[in-house]
């Protein structure tokens, strides 16, 4: 025990933290990148890209199709989702019994048309 009554094994948080780490709320580089500057760069880039697209977009696509169709197809394929689940019929999930019920209903609805 020390003279102030504290055991030598009991250390405060500040004493436990290695000296090379920053304190709570303290930045490692106070003069670093300002908050939001990365977002600003991305916003500026996208605005410039949009402006360029408005001027050259369609012409660039047409030129790519004519001169490098393989690159064009690669770009289009890259835009498509990797996994596509297509449902071609709303009848796919029905049981055989439900399908027969629907067929009977449609047959009854069509009966007046067949009588003409």
DSSP secondary structure of 38-78: HHHHHHHHHHHHHHHHHHHHHHHHHHHHHH-HHHHHHHHHH
CB 8 within 8 Å of CB 1: yes
**Other CB atoms within 10 A of residue 17 CB:** 13
Mean pLDDT value of segment 37-60 = 92
What was the pLDDT predicted at 74? Answer: 93
Please state the pTM of the whole predicted model. Answer: 0.39
Greatest mean pLDDT among 13-17, 25-29, 40-44 lies in 40-44
pLDDT at 51 over 60: yes
User: What is the 8-class DSSP label of residue 114?
Assistant: H
């Amino acid at each position: 025990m020390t003279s102030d009554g504290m055991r030598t094994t009991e250390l405060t948080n500040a004493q436990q933290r290695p000296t090379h780490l920053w304190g709570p709320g303290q930045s490692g580089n106070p003069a670093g990148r300002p908050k939001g500057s990365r977002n600003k760069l991305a916003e500026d880039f996208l605005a410039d890209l949009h402006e360029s697209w408005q001027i050259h977009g369609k012409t660039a696509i047409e030129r790519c199709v004519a001169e490098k169709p393989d690159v064009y197809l690669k770009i289009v394929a890259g835009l498509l989702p990797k996994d596509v689940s297509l449902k071609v019929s709303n009848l796919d999930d029905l049981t055989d019994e439900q399908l027969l019920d629907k067929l009977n209903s449609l047959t009854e609805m069509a009966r007046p048309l067949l009588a003409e």
